[in-house]
Structures are given as C-alpha cells and as structure tokens.
C-alpha cells in the first residue's frame, strides 16, 4: 500500500460505499452467508456523534445540519443520503439566517437555532461577507458566528490546506515530529518542484513522470508523461518554470488491477482505495470498508468518477465467526 493523497476538506464518496454494499447484498445474498463481512452502515451514526461533540459549549442537545450547494452539485446525492441517514436537516445557504452571532434555519414552524453545520461547500462560497461577495451558496455572517463560538463549522474553514499536494509531501515528517512515530503507510516518492535540484531532475524526465498541480482535484490538470505528446510536455515545461511552487511530480504508479465487467467481457482495470476515518475528539474510527475506485477505460490510471471512473464494493472480513455477515461485498483488491 502507498498513500496517494489526503482528503480532509470535503471527503466525498462514502455514499457510494453505502449504496454499493446495499446493491451487492441484494444481488448476491448467498455471498454474505458464506463470509464474515464487517458492516459499513455504522458510518452515519459515527459521523453524527462526532459532529454533535463539536457543538458550542453549553449546548447539551445540539441541532446539526448538512449544508449543501444544492441540486446541481455533483455530490448532491451524497448530501441527501447522509442527511437522511443521520436524521438531520439538509439545508442550503438561503435556508439559514445569522443574527447576533447565532445561526438559525427557516422551518415551517419558524426559526430554529443551528449549533453544528456539516459543510459540504467550498470555503470560498461559504460566507459572502468574508470570501466571494457574489456567492449565493452560503450565508452572510457564518464565519463571524463561528468566531464568536455561536456555531461550529465542520470541517473547519481553512483545513483544505491539508489537501494541498505539496503539504502531502511533508506529512511523513509531520508524523515524525508531532507523534514521534514512523508512518505506518509510506507516501509515494514526490518531487517538490520549488526545489531547484528536484525541478532540474524532473524537467529532464518529464516524459517519465506524472506531474500534478498542488491545488488540483479530481484528476484535473495532471499530466501523465508517458501518455503526453511532445507539445503537451513542452507546454507543461513552461507552466512549471512559470510557477514551480504550483507543481509536484511523482513516478508513474502501476496501480493494482481487479477483474471488471466492461461491455460483455471481463478484463483487468486499475483501482485505488479511498478509506474513510472519523475523528470524534477522543478517538479515530476507520470505516471497515472503503471506496474502491476503478478506471473503466482499459489501461487508464485515472480512477476519478469525474473523469469517467466507477466504483466497487470493498469487503473487510472479520476473523470472528460471531459477527453477523451483513452487507459487505468484497472487491478483490490485489496490492502489488
């Protein structure tokens, strides 16, 4: 195993984990009777518990909401699913009001105070008074209310810095410095192009490496050297020289493959695994499963759903026969 990236700001995809499990349990019920598969259905409860623990001081029974950009967002299905499974309201910015450093949501019974907001929109759209003044997705005053302790915003504003691919390259050192431990799983070798020696080495080997923008997501902007034309590599060279801090480079990884139905036949397709962890302030709980993302195009290494990728159910088996075999089908992940 190798860590490819970190997703802290708005980690998405757990809805596919839950729905893949549900579909597999319905389609292959006999498989679940033969395997001791750990369930994934506990995730919404764990998430809600963690959110409730972040409530402002003095609030014993906090009201939690999920803040969505709306129906046109690509992850709207996940927002509705999580809100429904947690038993909380799904709101848009226009449903919220800030007054006296408190946040309220409009309901048919009148205004109701909101204590915790599970934010599923980017920071720049959250509060037009603090960030983009033209944003219609957030609510004016949210940031001041959070500063004053009147509401908790999760995940916290600004924690997207942890998703930066340059910061990613320092995580092993951060673990050693703050935890006095060695990382359990290693990172992929990463060249920081702001460093002169690394930049010169990469520019000499552009055709052999994967070059990524540090603030990119969803596979956007990355260039796979072996698949790029001479013109694309030359354009990349100019972009790197113009802004070295904005890029990292890594070797081309041969991702594991799993059998995948494509058309009318099975064939190997590249996959990666996105695990999910919830920190409730006392402990970190890791979902016993995860999102196995698959590149549906033959030979492709880009598994992102935004780039045409798909997903597979992932099983974590229990050694104990006492655990019930609930909905967790197995994605045959072979890590090489």
For residue 235, is it within any domain? yes
Total count of domains within the chain: 1
For residue 217, pLDDT beyond 70:
no
**pLDDT (0 to 100) of residue 320:** 66
For residue 225, is it within any domain? yes
pLDDT tens-digit readout, 132-156 = 999 999 999 999 999 999 999 999 9
Helix, strand, coil share (%) of the chain residues, nearest 5: 30, 25, 45
For residue 197, is it within any domain? yes
pTM equals: 0.85
For residue 230, is it within any domain? yes
For residue 159, is it within any domain? no
pLDDT tens-digit readout, 96-145 = 999 999 999 999 999 999 999 999 999 999 999 999 999 999 999 999 99
Q: Tokens standing for 73?
A: 């967002």
For residue 28, is it within any domain? no
Instruction: Give me the domain span that covers residue 204.
Output: 189-247
User: Which of these, 71, 76, 82, lies nearest to 18 by C-alpha position?
Assistant: 82
For residue 51, is it within any domain? no
Burial class of residue 162, CB neighbours in 10 A (0-12, 13-18, 19+): middle
For residue 234, is it within any domain? yes
pLDDT tens-digit readout, 53-74 = 999 999 999 999 999 999 999 8
The span from the CA of 102 to the CA of 115, in Å, is 8
Residue 208's CATH number: 3.30.1490.270
State the first-to-last Cα distance of the chain, in angstroms, to the nearest integer: 8
CA distances from 112 to 89, 149, 154 (A): 11, 17, 19
């Amino acid at each position: 195993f190798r860590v490819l990236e970190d997703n802290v700001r708005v980690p998405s995809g757990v809805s596919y984990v839950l729905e893949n499990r549900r579909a597999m349990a319905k389609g292959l019920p006999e498989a679940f009777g033969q395997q001791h598969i750990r369930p994934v259905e506990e995730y919404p409860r764990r998430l809600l518990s963690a959110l409730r623990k972040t409530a402002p001081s003095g609030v014993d029974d906090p009201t939690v909401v999920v803040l969505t950009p709306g129906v046109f967002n690509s992850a709207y299905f996940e927002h509705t699913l999580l809100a429904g499974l947690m038993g909380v309201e799904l709101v848009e910015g226009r449903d919220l009001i800030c007054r006296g450093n408190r946040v309220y949501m409009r309901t048919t019974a009148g205004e109701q105070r909101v204590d915790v907001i599970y934010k599923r929109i980017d920071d720049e759209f959250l509060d037009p008074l603090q960030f983009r003044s033209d944003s219609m997705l957030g609510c004016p005053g949210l940031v001041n209310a959070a500063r004053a302790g009147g509401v908790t915003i999760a995940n916290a504003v600004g924690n997207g810095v942890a998703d930066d691919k340059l910061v990613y390259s320092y995580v092993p050192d951060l673990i050693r410095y703050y935890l006095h431990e060695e990382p359990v799983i290693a990172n992929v070798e990463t060249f920081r192009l702001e460093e002169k020696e690394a930049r010169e080495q990469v520019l000499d080997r552009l055709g052999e490496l994967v070059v990524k923008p540090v603030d990119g997501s969803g596979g956007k902007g990355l260039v796979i050297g072996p698949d790029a034309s001479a013109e694309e590599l030359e354009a990349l060279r100019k972009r790197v020289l113009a802004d070295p801090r904005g890029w990292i480079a890594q070797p081309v990884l041969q991702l594991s493959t799993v059998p995948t139905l494509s058309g009318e036949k099975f064939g190997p397709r590249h996959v990666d695994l996105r695990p999910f962890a919830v920190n409730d302030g006392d402990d970190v709980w890791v979902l016993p499963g995860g999102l196995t993302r698959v590149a549906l195009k033959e030979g492709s290494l880009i598994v992102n759903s935004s780039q045409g990728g798909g997903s597979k159910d992932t099983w974590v088996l229990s050694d104990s026969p006492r655990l019930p075999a609930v909905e967790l089908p197995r994605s045959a992940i072979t890590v090489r």
